Amino acid sequence: MATPYWTRPEPPYHVAIFTITPSGIDPEGYAEMNKRMVKLAEAQPGYLGRESAVLPNGSDLVVIYYADAESIRTWKRNSEHVVAQRLGRQKWLARYRVEVARVERAYEFAAGPSANAAPDAEGQTCGSASPGQD
């Protein structure tokens, strides 16, 4: 289920960034596991959205947003997710790095009257967890 990036709330919220290099072993199994993990991630309370793309070097870049750090911890410890992580290390994955970060500021822009949000010629600061800074 797609959650458009412009519907994310004002900061603060959290993000988990996955950079994943598949091993090339059992790509069908890896794809199936990924589909299942996407459903798990979406079902986790606090889920705010997700972007996923294949990098030019063949690695996967997955960015998943949650309302708070506790949602990410709970999701990481989900029993089915833990099994998938173990299987991933055993066969599907050559290398990965997961980064958990707190979103402190966000800027948005939408052009023209056909866009869903109000246009703002200067780019709008839609939230800041560090008042007084930009």
Interacting residues toward a copy of itself by CB under 8 A: 2, 5-6, 8, 11, 15, 17, 19, 23, 51-57, 59, 61, 63, 69, 73, 76, 85, 89, 93-112, 115, 117, 121-123, 130, 133-134
3-state secondary structure string across 5-49:
HHHCCCCCEEEEEEEEEECCCCHHHHHHHHHHHHHHHHHCCCEEE
Q: Which is nearer to a copy of itself, 112 or 131 (CB)?
A: 112
Residue (32 or 107) nearer to a copy of itself, CB: 107
CB of 80 to a copy of itself, least distance (A): 16
| Smallest gap from residue 110 Cβ to a copy of itself (A) | 5
Q: Which two tokens stand for residue 67?
A: 């309302």
- Comparing CA positions, the residue from 50, 108, 109, 104 lying closest to residue 75 is 50
